[in-house]
Amino acid sequence: MKSIITAGIFAMTVVAGPAIAQEVRLHAAGSLKTAMTDIADAFETATGATVQRKFGPSGLLRERIEQGELAEVFASANMRHPQTLADEGLSGTVTMFARNSLCALAQQEVEVTSDTVLDVMLSDDIRLGTSTPKADPSGDYAWELFGKAGEVRQGATATLEAKALQLTGGPNSATPPEGRNPYGWVMSEDRADLFLTYCTNAVLAQRDTPTLQIVQLPEALVVGADYGLSVLNDASTSRRSGRLHPCVRRAADPCELWI
């Protein structure tokens, strides 16, 4: 098990000037919290600078930035939200820097495999949990999966959209207790029988609630997630050199997220 993500992500914003900035304001997707926390801690140790961190659903973070909240680096779980800021003239070029994919989390008693996961999701007695579309890319990716399901099984898209419980990632979603993984907590509270989330989140949820099963999706339902990074225009000139870590520069070969 390992976490691979560009440790030089802040090189994009900080290392190029004659002096390192004393504070970097980072807004990042909740699914990046573990990786970004390690990176930010290492950066602070190496430079003496402070990384001010805010994690949450990418869509809600984008709205806060649009409303004037100060940010310098925006790391989103999709490309669309940072591109929206770029189109509005609030940030520079968007770079794809990582990839993820969807998995299913299932309660211990649910009989499910990769081959049967669509049947289980469609079952009348299964409560299907997702995140909140538009506010959280994880929810948008779940709806993309529902579209793929309709290509496999007639009528599946409408059925899944109708039954999906949007349990996380929204402005009014329940907040887990401090220290709890939100997906592990939602499942431990018995709010869903099966939950669609990123595979990295699923691993962390299982660490939080070891009885949970992680189910890989069959090829026909696989949904990939491209993560986008941008530097906001509020960043000072010395923080906006455009110098990228080699892993970020290779837009065609972005870093994979592994846990």
In percent, the amount of the chain with pLDDT more than 70 equals: 82
Q: pLDDT value at position 47?
A: 85
Q: pLDDT value at position 80?
A: 96
For the domain 9-99+225-256, what is the CATH code? 3.40.190.10
CA 75/CA 77 separation, integer angstroms: 7
Residues composing the chain: 259
Bigger pLDDT: 12 vs 72: 72
Q: What is the chain's Cα-based Rg?
A: 19
**Sequence-ordered list of residues with C-beta below 8 angstroms from that of 207, at least 6 positions apart, any chain:** 181, 184
Q: pLDDT value at position 236?
A: 52
Where do the CATH 3.40.190.10 domains begin and end in the chain?
9-99+225-256, 101-221
* pTM reported for the whole predicted model: 0.83
Mean pLDDT to the nearest integer, 243-256: 40
CA 75/CA 39 separation, integer angstroms: 13
CA 34/CA 28 separation, integer angstroms: 11
In percent, the amount of the chain with pLDDT more than 90 equals: 76
67-118 tens-digit pLDDT: 999 999 999 999 999 999 999 999 999 999 999 999 999 999 999 999 999 9
Q: Are 87 and 234 in contact (CB under 8 A)?
A: no
Mean pLDDT to the nearest integer, 136-159: 98
**Sequence-ordered list of residues with C-beta below 8 angstroms from that of 147, at least 6 positions apart, any chain:** 157
Q: pLDDT value at position 46?
A: 87
Q: At 255, is the pLDDT very low, low, confident or very high (cuts 50, 70, 90)?
A: very low
Mean pLDDT to the nearest integer, 117-128: 98
For the domain 101-221, what is the CATH code? 3.40.190.10
Mean pLDDT to the nearest integer, 190-199: 98
214-230 tens-digit pLDDT: 999 999 999 999 999 99
Q: Are 13 and 40 in contact (CB under 8 A)?
A: no
Q: Are 195 and 136 in contact (CB under 8 A)?
A: no
Mean pLDDT to the nearest integer, 147-165: 98
Q: pLDDT value at position 21?
A: 62
15-66 tens-digit pLDDT: 444 455 688 899 999 999 999 999 889 988 988 889 999 999 999 999 999 9
Mean pLDDT to the nearest integer, 242-253: 39
Q: Are 13 and 240 in contact (CB under 8 A)?
A: yes
Mean pLDDT to the nearest integer, 140-158: 98
Q: pLDDT value at position 58?
A: 95
Q: Are 117 and 217 in contact (CB under 8 A)?
A: yes
Q: Are 26 and 40 in contact (CB under 8 A)?
A: yes
Query: CB atoms < 10 A from the CB of 87, how many?
Result: 11
